[in-house]
Each structure stands twice: as C-alpha cells, then as structure tokens.
Amino acid sequence: MEANQTSLEAQGIVYSVVLEILTSYIAVKNEDKLTPIKDKKRAKELRNNLHDIAEKYISNYKDSPIYKRINNINTPTNMDKLIKPFEIMKIPLTEDDKKIISNRNDFLHGNDFIEGKDLSEFFSNHFYINCKLNFLVYALLLKIVGHHGKILNMVKIYLENDKRVKDEQFYRDIGDAVS
C-alpha cells in the first residue's frame, strides 16, 4: 500500500523490496524445493570433490572467492530465489514478468535502466514496470493468504492502449490453490 502512495520513482523500489521479502518468505518455507541437490550427503560429497580439485590450482585457496562459491554450490541463484516462489505458489509468469523481476536489483541499487527518448516515454516505461511489479507483489500476497483464480491486472487497466499489453486481459489468473 505504501508503494501506491509514493512517487513514480520510489514505487519500483518499494515493490522490489516487498517482492524480495515475499519471495524470501516463500523460499525459506520451501527450501527443499529450491535446493538443486536434495540429498545433503551427495551435495557435501560434490563440494568436497570440487574443493580437492580447486586446491590443486589456487594458492591460498581458503581465502579465494572460488572457495566461497564452492561452499555455496548447492544454493539457488538470486534469480532462482525470486522466480521459484512463483512456481511453488503455482503463479504462471510470462517472459515479460521474468524480465521485470530481473530489474528488481536495478531498483534496489539505484541503477539507471529505464529507457525513454523523452519524458513521456520514460514515464510510460517506468509506469509500466511499476504496474507489473504491483501485479507480481499482489499475486504473491494473495496466494500466501489462500486466494486462487483471477486478480486485477493493473497494467492492462492503466495502459490499455499500450502495445505491450495488447494481448493481456484485465484479469490475470494466478493459478490453482497451493496444496
């Protein structure tokens, strides 16, 4: 609700923070579904084997970034932590949704990534991304509390004549109930 009351520039930041909080909440509750190698013993075996190999190539190995990466070899990527919760909650994502989710880091770090040759195009692009983030956040929130079915698609309502949303519906299905 705070994002809806703030400036255009801050909306994306607030939605991105909330998206991160919600996906982390779902990821923690479903850690077993995000871990690439489910068998902890096999994951440890892989880690040990990789450490043995890497030690042969790197001096001062335990202080190297490779040592730390191998220790986290069975940890999902940041993008997986953001996308997988939608799969777990059975919320279908479009390729555009995934692209918008990947922009979350740009918002959080203040990167200048929104394009526009003039103020009107910049505003339209920014507003489009904010509306998409709004949908993603509300889809997760509503699924967490048990809703399933269709929800309002703000980007279609506010940007109905925009070519990017011509194939979208006013209501989007957020999938079946989560068991």
H-run or E-run covering 173: strand 171-173
Q: What is the mean pLDDT of the chain?
A: 89
Contact between 170 and 154 (Cβ < 8 Å): no
Class of residue 40 by CB neighbours under 10 A (exposed 0-12, middle 13-18, buried 19+)? exposed
Q: Between residues 2 and 30, which one has the greater pLDDT?
A: 30
pLDDT exceeds cutoff 90 at 97: yes
Q: Dihedral of the CA atoms 131, 114, 99, 137 (nearest 10)?
A: -30
In this model, does residue 178 exceed pLDDT 70?
yes
What Rg value do the Cα atoms of the chain yield, rounded? Answer: 20
pTM (predicted TM-score): 0.83
- Answer whether 46's CB lies under 8 Å from 37's CB: yes
Per residue in 130-173, pLDDT tens?
999 999 999 999 999 999 999 999 999 999 899 999 999 999 99
pLDDT of residue 109: 66
pLDDT category of residue 108 using cuts at 50, 70 and 90: confident
What pLDDT digit, counting tens, does each position of 39-58 carry? 999 999 999 999 999 999 99
Placement of tokens 């709004």 in the chain: 134
